[in-house]
Amino acid sequence: MLNIKCPVCQSVDDDIRSGVKSNFAVVTCSVCQHRFAWLPDTLSDQLEEQYDESFSGYRHDPHFNQRIRQEIETQLLSRLAKDARVLDVGCGNGEFVSAMQEYGFSVSGVDVSPAAVAHCQKRGLDARVCYFDQETIPEKFDLITMWDVVEHVQEPQRFFQKAYQQLTPNGYFLVKIPFYSAVDIFIARHYPKFAGTLLDYPAHIQYFTKKSLETGLKSSGFTNIQWLPDTTMRSSPTGGHLKKRAARFAKKMIRRISGSGNLYLLAQRQ
14-268: CATH architecture: 3-Layer(aba) Sandwich (3.40)
Q: Where are the domains of the chain?
A: 14-268
Measured CA distances, 117 to 20, 92, 124, 136 (Å):
36, 7, 11, 19
Whole-number pLDDT of residue 69: 95
Amino acid at 111: D
Q: What is the pLDDT of residue 45?
A: 54
Res 37: pLDDT: 92
What is the structure's pLDDT at 229? 93
Nearest of 166, 112, 117, 120 to residue 143 by alpha carbon: 166
Are 84 and 106 a contacting pair, CB within 8 Å? yes
Q: How far is CA 226 from the centre of its chain?
A: 17
| Helix 242-258, helix 182-190: angle, nearest 10 | 130
CB-CB contact of 182 with 152 (8 Å)? no
Cα-flanking dihedrals φ and ψ of residue 143, to 5°? -145, 130
How many other C-beta atoms lie within 10 A of the C-beta of residue 92? 27
Q: In a structure prediction context, what are the per-residue pLDDT tens digits for the chain, which is 270 residues long?
A: 566 889 999 998 655 555 555 567 888 998 999 999 987 665 655 555 555 555 555 667 888 889 999 999 999 999 999 999 999 999 999 999 999 999 999 999 999 999 999 999 999 999 999 999 999 999 999 999 999 999 999 999 999 999 999 999 999 999 999 999 999 999 998 888 888 888 999 899 999 999 999 999 999 999 899 999 987 776 666 556 676 666 666 666 776 777 789 999 999 998
> Residue 139 phi/psi, 5° resolution?
-80, 155
Whether the CB-CB separation of 26 and 19 falls below 8 Å is answered with yes
